[in-house]
Structure 1
Amino acid sequence: MARPTRLTRQQQRQIRELIAKHDPLIQAAFLEVVRNAHGAVDFAELVRLVEIGDWNRIEQIMRLNQALLFPLQEAVRVTIVAGGMTVTLPRGIQGSFGFDGNHVRAQQIFAETGARLVTEIGSPGPEPIRATILQAQRERVGAETTARRLAGTLNPRTGVREGGILGLDGPRAQRSVRVREILSDPDQIADYFRGKEPRYTSTDRRYDAQVRKAIAKGRALDKATIEKIAKAHDARLLKARGKAIAENEAFTAQAEGRREAYTQLFESDKVESIDKLWQHNSAKDARPDHKALDGKRVSFNEAFEMDDGTRMQYAHDPAGGIKHSGGCRCTTTYIPQYRRLT
């Protein structure tokens, strides 16, 4: 890896500070989105749709639209701007530079972010919804119970719905369905404690003794206990999704903001050139192609190329998709050659 300069160390510190500040704000915004979505569900209509089996309309009701996603979009926008505002001129360089969040290109980034969030976060997808309904049918529970598994159960203390697969992505929603399937089947219940991913243990562990007792007797759990465990499990899944979204969006947003700011700087008369450096940060499951790029220095408009042919202008470039951004901790630092006026 190339030896880091004072400039790249400074940028790394700025990135860490940005992530630490905005990650929890984005996570809180996501949970606000889900709370608002729970409140927006027409539960009576959802029950009716379950009764008549209109799965397509159910999926529409379960979708988080752009209006509901606004708090999350705004939190991401603020992070983009914060990333852009870290780019300033050093001492000794004549003139001034400030990130222009009203630039047409910056506004386009904000708009594309909103559209991307709708696509990536907006719905658990049709398969988990259908799996939830089919599992309920196998258990012979009513339409209202099925609707609660989809959209949550009303908390009498707060008046807000909680739980269900609303707000979960496809894989986590499938895990929600699976835990009910396991606990309601005497032939499968022993799988509750098996395997590392996914783990089906309840959030607060209060029910583990009951599950072990049922396993020992070779029987399924009663429906009431299953619902309690499933509700705790859904809460953990939602929290985990919020954390994953916050981490990914915080990294992506600051990277987009900084890239746009350096693009604006590049277009000014303040620099002769800008190079960029890929820096791989240690991760539990490092991507080999990302690790191989560690220390690679290229010119500003040159792309970093992955083993699968994906070309990215910077770490967390949305062009790489979730395949190259989810869980990634890589960063890109920029090395400008400033024009010194005499």
Structure 2
Amino acid sequence: MASNRSIFEQLLDKYDQTLAEAFFQGIDAIKSQITLKIVVERLERGDIAGAVEAMQLEDEAFSALEIALREAYNAGGVSFVENLPKLKDPEGNRVIWRFGVRDYAGEAFLRDHSAQLVTRIVEDQRVAVRQALETGLSEGRNPRSTALDVVGRINRVTGKREGGIIGLTSPQERYIALARAELLSGDVTLLRNYLGRGRRVKRYDSVVLRAISDGKPIPQDMVTRMLDGYSNRLLELRGEILARTETMMAIGTARENAMRQQIDAGKVASQDVQKIWRSAADGRVRHTHRVLNGQAVGFDAAFQSVSGARLRFPGDPDAPVNEISGCRCHLEYKIDYFASVVRQYRAA
């Protein structure tokens, strides 16, 4: 029988990919439906707000992401109860563990969290796009070039827009802006700064090294190709982190709610349930979670991070983002089934 850790990792890997694909699907939908001509016309009039609106950055583009989040939540709860040990009540009947996917707590989480998630993505998109358009026009780039730097350029092989700003966070948009300034500067120090960017496309490093040697800026067309590649990699990182964080949150919440449902149904007592924190046990585990590894608390209690944050479980949506972003930890639920059976027997 698979261990709790391997079951959890299998779920995480599966829905990690599902959520990432749903996120990228939303980004592709937005990019593919942009009418470039309208965006350019509005930029030519200096109407940046109108250009942003013309891109139609709307919540509905991410409906697949909301569906994927629900699927991850449901799978997390079902898997949890399926792997609870077999138990008989005082009369010898088998205790049936069930997960109600439509209970109030679950519906509230899926409704509120998914709506907030999509709203945050879209609002941050608007900020990033507006920043990029303002920077492009202020630097004197023509409206068409500025628009393409935001929406991406069509790959003649795939027929899809690649590069650009759409899909990136507003801080990532600033990375692109700074990288552009570095590559066009011709300044040795700034060019070397670019070579320190971890998500750059390294096959272009020879171009940068030659520019450093010659003391000349890199041609605009080459900078465009380099930035498109850099943007694609930042978008990939964005999707990876978002998918991992949201999958952890959905599965962790589902497991917690599934255990709560068993308690509310009288199948086990809350005082007989312990939660034990298990880290991913590798060098990527954040310090605060490495400290938590192996710690146990009661079911109704929370773990106390050395950062001061309180977490009911890894991926707790109520915890600060620096405690849940990219987290790969999980909980082991230790249940004293014998104590629960005895308690039920005495109550009967």
Q: What amino acid is aligned across from residue 298 of structure 1 in structure 2?
A: V
**Matches of 1:36 and 1:126 in 2, distance apart?**
16
Q: Is the 8 A contact 1:189 1:220 kept in 2?
A: no
Name the Cα RMSD after superposition: 2.6
Work out whether 1:191 is the aligned partner of 2:192: yes
Q: Which moved more, 1:298-307 or 1:283-292?
A: 283-292
SS of the equivalent of 2:334 reads strand
- 1:46-89 deviation digits (Å, cap 9, x = unpaired): 22332334444545556743211111121121111111002224
User: Offset at 1:147?
Assistant: 0.8
- Is the deviation greater in 77-86 or in 182-191? 182-191
Summarize deviations over 1:202-225 as a string: whole Å, max 9, x none. Answer: 25x1x3322222221111111111
Match of 1:144? 144
**Number of the residue aligned with 1:287:** 286
1:247 deviates by 1.8
Aligned to 2:206: 209
Deviation at 1:250, TM superposition (A): 1.9
Matched, 1:90 2:85: yes
2:113 and 2:77 map into 1 onto residues whose CA distance is 15
Displacement of 1:168 after TM fit?
0.6
CA distance in structure 1 between the aligned counterparts of 2:243 and 2:126, rounded to whole angstroms: 24
Once the two structures are TM-superposed, the CA of residue 262 in structure 1 deviates from its matched residue by 0.9
Q: Which letter maps to 2:251?
A: Q
Moved more, 162-171 or 40-49: 40-49
- CA deviation after TM superposition for structure 1 residue 145, in Å: 1.0
Distance 1:139 1:256, change over 3 A: same
- Structure-2 change in CA distance of 1:17 and 1:322 (3 Å): same
Over 3 Å counting, the alpha-carbon distance change for 1:254 and 1:51 in structure 2 is same
The higher relative CO (CA closer than 8 Å, separation ≥ 6) is in: 1
Task: State percent identity of aligned pairs.
Answer: 26
CA contact (8 A) 1:123 1:168 kept: no
Structure 2 counterpart SS, 1:245: helix
CA distance in structure 2 between the partners assigned to 1:119 and 1:238 by the alignment:
18
Distance 1:263 1:59, change over 3 A: farther
Say whether 1:229 aligns with 2:226: yes
Answer yes or no: is 1:261 the counterpart of 2:258: yes
Q: Tell me if 1:27 matches 2:20.
A: yes
More displaced 10-residue stretch of structure 1: 165-174 or 291-300: 291-300
| Larger displacement relative to structure 2 (222-231 or 52-61) | 52-61
State how far apart, in whole Å, the 2-side matches of 1:38 and 1:113 are.
25
In structure 1, the partner of 2:91 is none
Query: In 2, Cα distance between the equivalents of 1:234 and 1:270?
Result: 52
The answer to whether the Cα contact below 8 Å between 1:282 and 1:329 also exists between their aligned partners in 2 is no
Deviation at residue 134 of structure 1 after TM alignment: 4.5
What stretches of structure 2 of length at least 5 have no aligned partner?
Answer: 89-93
Q: Per-residue displacement from partner, 1:90-145 (whole Å, max 9, x unpaired)?
A: 22332312211111221111112312322443244566435423442355321111
Change in 2 beyond 3 A, CA 1:267/1:63 = farther
Give the distance between the partners of 1:263 and 1:212, measured in 2 at CA. Answer: 59
Task: Please tell me whether the aligned partners of residues 131 and 177 of structure 1 are also in contact (alpha carbons under 8 angstroms).
Answer: no
Which residue in 2 is equivalent to 1:65?
Answer: 58
Deviation at 1:283, TM superposition (A): 4.5
**Residues of 1 paired with 2:47 and 2:281: CA distance?**
47
- Give unmatched runs, 5+ long, in structure 1: 1-5
- Equivalenced residue count is 331
Q: Is the counterpart of residue 10 in structure 1 residue 11 in structure 2? A: no
Distance across 2 between alignment mates of 1:123 and 1:168:
12
CA distance in 1, matches of 2:23, 2:45: 32
Indicate the SS of the match to 1:318.
Answer: coil
| Partner residue, 2:164 | 164
Deviation at 1:148, TM superposition (A): 1.0
Using the size of structure 1 for normalisation, the TM-score is: 0.87
Distance in 2 (alpha carbons) for counterparts of 1:24 and 1:213: 39
Secondary structure in 1 aligned to 2:247?
A: helix
